[in-house]
Each structure stands twice: as structure tokens, then as C-alpha cells.
Amino acid sequence: MDGSLVLFGYWLQNRSFALAIAGSDWAYPFVQATHFTGLSLWVGTNVVVDLSLLGVGKKSSTSLQLSDALFMWNWIGFGIAVTGGFLLFSVSAETYLTNIAFVIKLGLLIPLGLALHIVIQQKAPVWEKASEPPPMAKVAGFTELLLWLCVATAAVLIPYVG
């Protein structure tokens, strides 16, 4: 691993907030719960819009209407998930930076998922104009679902790989 990343990890895990979380009986589970609360909001609101793009469920609201209605909760969820994730990371930053599942999750899958998510939010008004969602909308919705599933899988694998 790059020496400057090791130094950064060492520096981060020795910050007072990281030491406080590591040294407390309740803080780590609390931060974990925060990460999961944010994830539930973020992934849950994404799944609603992606399934709608795939044509699953009632047609009473369009994908654009759902995306607009959930927009604020969607990004609040992301903010909470990133804050909780960063705090979890800070407790053992050096170890996480050498964990292949963590590196793939944070360095590849999350940036890809986020980029596609922003494209979907920007393209939704264009797709809305067609009478039926175009094939590209379905591909984008399906790929986003798959990417968040891969992010969650990589996260679950973190304790099992080096």
C-alpha cells in the first residue's frame, strides 16, 4: 500500500473522536446503527425509483414523480450513511485501507453507483417525455440496483478478507 495512505490511516485512527469511539462500549454500535439508518434511506429510496424505471409496481406515479418526491430523503440518507461510514472507518483506518473488499467498495463500487445515480436523476425528466420508459432507462435502473447490491456484498465481506 502507498506509504502516504498508511500514514493517513495511522493519523486518522489516532484522532480524539476515533479513539473515543474505539474506547467506548456504546459509541461503536451507535455509529453502526447510524450507518445502517442512512443506508436504509439511501438504498430504499433508490430501489423505489429503480424498480419504477424497470416498470415494476403500480403506475400511479411516474419514475420522475417518485424521484422528485424522494429527492430530499434520498440525499439526507446518503449524508447520514457517509458520515456513519467515515466514523466506522476512522476507528481502524489503517486496517481498512489494506482490506481488498473495503478498497473495492469505496474506491470503485460507490463512485460508480453514485455517478449512475446522478445520471438517473438528471435523465429522469427526459425519459419522462416518452410514453414508455426507453430501454436505456431500464438498463440504468437495473444496473444501479445491481451496483448497490454489490456495494452491500463487498461491505459484508470486509471482516472475512484481508
Residues binding ligand HEM (CB under 6 A): 35, 39, 42-43, 81-82, 85-86, 88-89, 96, 106, 110, 148, 151-152, 155-156, 158-159
Cell 430504499 belongs to 44
Is 118 in a helix, a strand, or coil?
helix
| Cβ nearer to ligand HEM, comparing 64 with 81 | 81
Q: How far apart are CA 2 and CA 98, in angstroms?
A: 10
Query: Cβ 137 to ligand HEM, closest distance in Å?
Result: 22
The conformation of residue 134, written as its DSSP 8-state character, comes to -
Minimum CB distance to ligand HEM smaller for 57 or for 107: 107
Instruction: Indicate the residue among 159 and 162 with the shorter CB distance to ligand HEM.
Output: 159
Question: Quick one: CA dihedral 144, 147, 151, 156, positive or negative?
Answer: positive
Minimum separation from the CB atom of position 60 to ligand HEM (A): 28
The Cα 6–Cα 97 span in angstroms is 8
Task: Report, in Å, the least distance between residue 78 CB and ligand HEM.
Answer: 6
